[in-house]
A and B are shown apart, each in its own frame.
Chain A
Amino acid sequence: MKKTAFMKSNFAIYILRTVSLIVVSFIVINIIVVLFTITNDGPESITSTVSSASCNNTLKPIDEEIPTSLPYQKYKSLKDSIDHVRSLKNGEQRMAVFSPFGGVLSIQFAMNKDIVHKSHFDQFSIDAPKSYFYIMKGWKMESNENSTWGDNTYYVDNGIPYIRKYILKSTKGTHSYWELKEIRLNYFCDRDDKTILIPISKSIYNFSKVALLVIMFIFVSAYLVCASMAFKILHNISKGKVFIEENIRMLRQASYITILTPLLCVLIVLSQRLIFYSYFDDNIVMDMELYKFYAKLLLSGLAVSVLFSVFKRGFNIQQENDLVV
């Protein structure tokens, strides 16, 4: 059968090569990440709940404890004040730039000396120095909500991040017990979605902010182009021009965009495991929600790709039909 012009074009060959390269890199990075994840699983990751185990907690409370004997109103106001101080110590988010695979943000951490009195809260945003972070999407702090003794507690004290988690310890005999351990971290954590924040310098922050804005612009415009192409195809179909070369060209471009974008994002997200290798410990786990989002994008891309194949076949049949006398 005679090949159509678009099948012959160098662009198609180039895209095919790029797709195969991305798929191969994706598989290789996945294998590397899985291998690293396996080797990082130490004995501390055992989370089997031993109901008979006792709990050993010798650490000081993170924040000031309020005596329960206080009257309710006073207790409530004191509790609110302590919670407010805790949120300031954990960091107030100032500015953030997001992209589908990462982002940057600046946070102001309140040091102990900054918050002496409640009246100083208003001064906080002016006085506290800013810290800059790279938001490592796709990876998050391990949650231990199903643990017998409670969730992992992340907190910042004097600008230094810590995590308190229960670790199952076993003695020489059959008895085992949970011990609350405080671990100093070399990365920070988003207080809402537990995403990992890697400290960066101000110059890298400023550069990344612009770079991420450009990437976001490209990403959004690519999807807007896809949307406009969808409208154009619908317009052509309504005019009775179904299996025409223009529709096929637009569907081919849309399928490349919608398949390559999530693949590239996953590639970048997984590459972070290698780029920020020194920051990884067994408290960091994969954020499956983000991968589900990418999977949805990829599925939509595959659907467009199927549509492209159908239209291409339809175009060939239409051409043959037009040449039947």
Chain B
Amino acid sequence: MPIIVNLDVMMARRKISLNELSDRVGITPANLSILKTGKAKAIRFSTLEMICKELDCQPGDILEWVNEE
């Protein structure tokens, strides 16, 4: 997928664990893991909003488009 999820980078910068973030955002650790490993097909605006709020960042810090060609 040309969209790269940089959630792990942001989590490392903020020094926050997966379980803690999932607790704060209000989604299961399994779903957050799907997003972190790049298996997710889509992300809800509400989830993105909560993640950005908790990590104090912009959506562009989490999602990145890479030209595969």
A residues with CB within 8 A of B: 320, 323-325
Whether a CB of chain A sits under 8 angstroms from the CB of B43 is: yes
Number of interface residues, chain B, beta carbon within 8 A: 12
Q: Report chain A residues within 8 Å CB of B47.
A: 325
Q: Residue-by-residue, is B26-69 near A (CB-CB < 8 Å gives 1, otherwise 0)?
A: 01000110110001111110010000000000000000000000
Q: With A and B bound together, what is the CA distance between A320 and B43 in angstroms? A: 11
Q: Which residues of B line the A interface, CB within 8 A?
A: 27, 31-32, 34-35, 39-44, 47
The CA-CA distance from A262 to B40 in the complex, in Å, is 44
Per the bound structure, the CA–CA distance linking A320 and B40 in Å amounts to 8
A48 to B32, alpha carbons, bound, how many Å?
Answer: 81
Residues of B within 8 A of A325 (CB): 27, 31-32, 34-35, 40, 42-44, 47
User: Residue on B with the closest CB to A323?
Assistant: B41
Pick the most buried of B27, B41, B42, B43: most chain A CB atoms within 10 A of its CB. B41
Q: Which residue of A lies closest to B32 (CB)?
A: A325
What's the Cα separation between A323 and B32 when bound, in Å? 10
Q: Which residue of A lies closest to B42 (CB)?
A: A324
Please, which residue of chain B has its CB at the minimum distance from the CB of A321? B41
Highest count of chain B CB atoms <10 Å: which of A320, A324, A325: A325
Q: How far is the CA of A324 from the CA of B27 in the complex (A)?
A: 11
- CA A324 to CA B43, docked complex, whole Å: 6
Kindly list chain B residues whose C-beta atoms are within 8 Å of the C-beta of A324.
40-44
Residues in B with CB closer than 8 Å to A323 are: 34, 39-42
Could you say which residues of chain A place their CB within 8 Å of the CB of B43?
Answer: 324-325
Collect the chain A residues with CB atoms within 8 Å of residue B34's CB. 323, 325
Tell me how far the C-beta of A325 lies from the nearest C-beta in chain B, rounded to whole angstroms: 4
Task: Tell me how far the C-beta of B66 lies from the nearest C-beta in chain A, rounded to whole angstroms.
Answer: 19
Give B43 Cβ to nearest chain A Cβ, in Å: 5
Nearest opposing residue in chain A for B31, CB measure? A325
Instruction: Return the 9 tightest CB-CB contacts between A and B, nearest first.
Output: A323-B41, A325-B35, A324-B42, A325-B31, A325-B40, A325-B43, A320-B41, A323-B40, A325-B47
CA distance A325 to B29 in the complex (A): 11
Tell me, rounded to whole Å, the shortest Cβ–Cβ distance linking A315 to chain B: 14
Q: A325–B7 Cα gap in the complex (Å)?
A: 13
Query: Chain B nearest CB: distance from A4 CB in Å?
Result: 14
Complex-state Cα separation, A325 to B39, whole angstroms: 10
Chain A hits for B35, CB < 8 A: 325
